[in-house]
Structures are given as structure tokens and as C-alpha cells.
Amino acid sequence: MIPTITAFERSPDHGRGLARDMRVRWALEEVCQPYEVRLVSFSAMKEPAHRALHPFGQIPTYEEGDLALFESGAIVLHIAERHAGLLPDDANARARAITWMFAAVNTVEPPILELVTAKFLEGDRPWSKERLPLIADRIRDRLKQLSARLGDTDWLDGAFSAGDLMMVGVLLRLKASGMLDEYPNLSAYVSRGEARPAFKRAFADQLAVFTGEPQTG
Amino acid sequence: MIPTITAFERSPDHGRGLARDMRVRWALEEVCQPYEVRLVSFSAMKEPAHRALHPFGQIPTYEEGDLALFESGAIVLHIAERHAGLLPDDANARARAITWMFAAVNTVEPPILELVTAKFLEGDRPWSKERLPLIADRIRDRLKQLSARLGDTDWLDGAFSAGDLMMVGVLLRLKASGMLDEYPNLSAYVSRGEARPAFKRAFADQLAVFTGEPQTG
């Protein structure tokens, strides 16, 4: 059974791989699982048919037979639990990899989301210029802590896992800001993620949606 | 093996059950698993010993033999996977329950965290008064969507699950704001969570830390 995921018909990031379908595409590529993509317009995302799949009217969703899921973290975990390659066999190491998935979305991503909100929803407000550095400093607090933990290792806990996939996916949102460059080991960590063949295939496929080129996946 | 979790020595919420150890306590009570609590001061949370357990210097952590975890979502999932009572047996229903866990921490909680940040870290800034209603509206967007999905059912997807536990845990942060009262089914949903015997035991135990009364757990 080939799963179907949803992605933006016109991604607001212009194919830079920052939309959350990228995380799911990458996970599916890591485990060599073919998939189909249904593109959704912004207006269709607010319609009842899509809301039935995703109560918050977002992408990605994941459909596989009778199963319908949303939330990139949950979908990546679902994929990782059913296919080898994204979670260690050892039970304790597996629990730690899942811990990093939650750390990515619940500890590292919230201040980054705040920066996105500040720029796109409050960018024209009078406080914007004075407030952005405050948010950046809160992001730096997290990056500093993450950098200290990563140290000079390749991945957060042993071999590459779904925890690294989610963390790199979250950190990619900071790439254009230049903030990652302040933490060379984090910058190298993200680059290692981007260098993975599965990442490259997923990236090319999400970019092809934007450019109109045929997809490889 | 009795696990040990960490909690604030002096919780900033004065025992209102908003700190994230509450979610872990509640999960442990739901599955009738005894546990021990090690209280951590704000200064100790920044020390290397605690950073070794929690790279971001927060609570809760979870230690069980050789295993050390952090992130309330990951700890609750670990507990739910190893004990009956928090995840359905059916594989698809289980994946959907985990989806709600991620929705709680990655879709519903971020705008609520933004409100917390706006009040406690930017409350004295000149833009605070004008900005708070914008954040409240972004929270309402999420609550409206969640309310529409919940409808007149008791829980988000069939029986009470770890997904409801995390969602109620996140929504509790809004209780004092009065915003939940704008969505009667969400307010009733949170009340159903609070009425569970396991919630009450967990709440009493975290409150006892603050009041200095002996704990029951």
C-alpha cells in the first residue's frame, strides 16, 4: 500500500524545503518507501474535506488505507516505527531518539516559530524592529544548549535517527537568518543532514512542485 | 524498578499544575506506576549534573535504571508504550493517539507559549498591551479548530488516551485567562481530564511540593 501525503500547491517558502511535508518526504526516502503526493491549495486547506484529514487546516497529512494521520512529528514516528532505518533497535536508544523528536518540536521549534510569526504576521508593527533581537536571543539560548550537547559528534545520540531528522528539519528554518553560522558544529550538523542522499531526493521532489519539473519520487 | 522524575523545588506556578512534571505525574498515575521525585532548584537546573540529564536545563526528566529521558511528551509516550491504559491496542488508533500528542505540543502549545513569553519576558515592554490581543487571537484560531474537531465527544479519538492527556495538559495553561470558557466543549473537555482520579492524585502531589505537605505518590 503506497501512502499519500499532502503538500502545498504553492509553497510559501518557494521550494526551499521549509514546509513540513519535507520532513515526511525525507523520512520516506530514508526508509526507501515510495509515496504519492496530493497538492493542496490554500483555499482547499480550509475546506471540510481537508479539515477532516487535518483539523488545523495544514499540511502534511498521511493516508495509508484506512489510516489518516496529521502532524509531521507523528507521521515521521509512524514511518520510523514501521520501517528499519530511523530508530535504533535497542529499546533505550529508541526512547532517546524519540526524546529528540519531541525536543525538536516542543523545545527548539517554538522560539523559531515565534520568529516566523514576528516577521510574517507582525513585521509591519511598530515594535517589530526592537522585538526581533529579543526573539533571536531566545533562539540563541536554545542553540547554545543544543550545540553544547552535540559537541563534536555527528548526530545527537549515536547513529542518525528520526530525532536528527526532526532536529535538522527544525534548524533548517534558521539557515537564511545566518544564526546557525554562530554555532559551527550545528551548522555542520545541518549540512550533514542535507548531504544525505535521502534528504537530497526529498528536497528535489518538493522543489519540483514549485518549479513545475517532474518529480522523481 | 521505580522511576525517578524531576520537578521544580519552587514551581513558578505556585502549585497550579502547569509545570510539565504534571503531565508525567498524571501519566504515571493513570497506569498505576509508583515513582520518586527529585526536586531541583533553579540554580541546580543550570548545573552540569542536571544538564547531563536535560540539555536545555529544564524539568521534567525521567530516570529508570540505565535510561534517562527528558521532554514531557517523550516521557509520557515512553510510559504509555510500556504500560496499559494510555494507548489503544489497535495499531491505527494508537498512531492517531500519538498524532494528538504531537498536535498538543507542536500545534496547540506554541501560540500558548508565546502568550506566556509575552507576559513574563516582555510584559514591561511598551508594545505589550497592544500585542497581547494579537496573540490571543492566534490562540483562538487553534481553539476554534480544536473545538470543531472535538464536537460533542468526550475525548479526541475514542477512549481517553495519552493524546488527551497531553492536550488537556496544554490547555490547562489557558484556564486562568478565561479563553477556554469561550469554547464550552473545550472547557468541559479539560474539566473531564481534571476529574479523573489519576489527575487528582497527580495534582495533589505536585501541589504538596509547593505547600510542603507530604506527598501521596
Tell whether B123 is covered by a domain: yes
Cβ–Cβ gap B103/A142 under 8 Å: no
CATH number of the domain within which A44 lies: 3.40.30.10
**CB within 8 Å: A125 and B127:** yes
Q: How far is B214 from chain A (nearest CA, A)?
A: 31
Amino acid A60: pLDDT: 98
Residue A171, domain extent: 91-196
What would the pLDDT profile of A41-55 be if each residue is shown by its tens digit?
Answer: 999 999 999 999 999
Same domain, B35 and B98: no
Q: Same domain, yes or no, for A112 and A59?
A: no
B118 & B144 share domain:
yes
For residues B108 and B60, state if they share a domain.
Answer: no
Q: Same domain, yes or no, for B98 and B182?
A: yes
Mutation for testing the A interface, residue in B102, B114, B122, B146 having most A CBs under 10 Å: B102
Contacts of B58 in chain A (CB under 8 A): 107
- A217 within a domain of the structure (yes/no): no
Give residue-wise pLDDT tens across range A165-177: 999 999 999 999 9
Cell digits for B176?
A: 486562568
What's the pLDDT tens digit per position in B34-68? Answer: 999 999 999 999 999 999 999 999 999 999 999 99
Q: What is the ipTM of this complex?
A: 0.96
CA proximity to A190, closest of A10, A26, A37: A26
Count of CB contacts below 8 A, A vs B? 130
Q: Do A51 and A24 sit in the same domain of this protein?
A: yes
The answer for residues whose C-beta is within 8 angstroms of residue A184's C-beta and 6 or more apart is: none
Question: How many DSSP H helices and E strands does chain B contain?
Answer: 10, 4
Cβ(B14)–Cβ(B21) below 8 Å: no
Give the per-residue pLDDT at A12. Answer: 87
Q: Is residue B28 part of a domain?
A: yes
Phi–psi pair at A62, nearest 5 degrees: -145, 120
Does residue B9 fall inside a structural domain?
A: yes
| Residues 6+ positions from A101 with CB-CB distance below 8 Å | A73, A76, A77, A162, A163, A166, B74
Closest Cβ opposite residue B99 in set A70, A107, A138: A70
B202 with B185, same domain: the answer is no
C-alpha distance from B97 to closest chain A C-alpha (Å): 9
Residues A173 and A205 in one domain: no
Cβ separation of B107 and A74 shorter than 8 Å?
no
- CATH number of A107's domain: 1.20.1050.10
Give strand pairing partners of A69.
A62
Give residue-wise pLDDT tens across range B70-128. 999 999 999 999 999 999 999 999 999 999 999 999 999 999 999 999 998 999 999 99
The answer to whether residue A216 scores a pLDDT higher than 80 is no
Q: How many domains does chain A have?
A: 2
Domain presence at residue B112: yes
| Residues B137, B192 share a domain | yes
Q: Which residues of chain B have a CB within 8 Å of the CB of A71?
A: 99, 102-103, 106-107
- A190 lies in the same domain as A98: yes
Whether A189 and A202 map to the same domain: the answer is no
CB-nearest to A69 from B73, B99, B122 is B99
Is B122–A102 a contact, with Cβ atoms under 8 angstroms apart?
A: no
Answer whether residue A216 is part of any domain.
Answer: no
Q: Does B216 reside within a domain? A: no
- The answer to the question of residue B217 being in a domain is no
Residues B14 and B110 in one domain: no
